[in-house]
Amino acid sequence: MVKGGCIIKVFITGIIIIEFLTLFRIGSVSKSLTATLIMRLVQEGILDLNVPIHTYIHEFTLQNKEDTRSITLCMLLSHTAGFPDGGDIVGETMREII
C-alpha cells in the first residue's frame, strides 16, 4: 500500500512505514556480490581460489595458526572452512580493533 509517497507495510504485529531513506539490515545480500567480485578477480588472474586467504589478508588470524595458514578463498566461498555458527573465530588482530 502506498500513502503520501511512502510504502506502508502492514504486519500482524503492527504497521511499518518505509520511506525513501529507510535503512535496512543488509543480511546476506552482500555475499553474492562479494563472490561475484572475487570470481572476476580470479578470471583476471589477480586472485587464486586455492591459495590460503592469509596470502591476501595478512591480518586474518585464528587461534589455531595451522588453520590460519590452510583456509583458502574456495573454502570460504563454499562454506567449507569449518567455522562454527557464531563460534569464536575472531583472531587477536580483530580483538584489538574492536
For the whole model, what pTM was predicted?
0.58
pLDDT tens digits for the chain (98 residues)?
555 555 555 555 566 666 667 776 776 778 888 899 999 999 999 999 999 999 999 998 888 888 888 999 999 888 888 876 654 444 444 444 44
Nine cell digits for residue 5: 509517497
How far are the Cα atoms of 4, 19, 26, 63 from residue 9, in angstroms, in the given order? Answer: 13, 11, 19, 45
Determine the Cα–Cα distance for residues 66 and 56; give it in Å rounded to an integer.
16
Residue whose C-alpha cell reads 580483530 in the numeric block: 94
HSE value, Cβ hemisphere, 13 Å, CA-based, for 78: 9
The domain segmentation of the chain, as residue ranges, is: 25-97
pLDDT at 66: 86
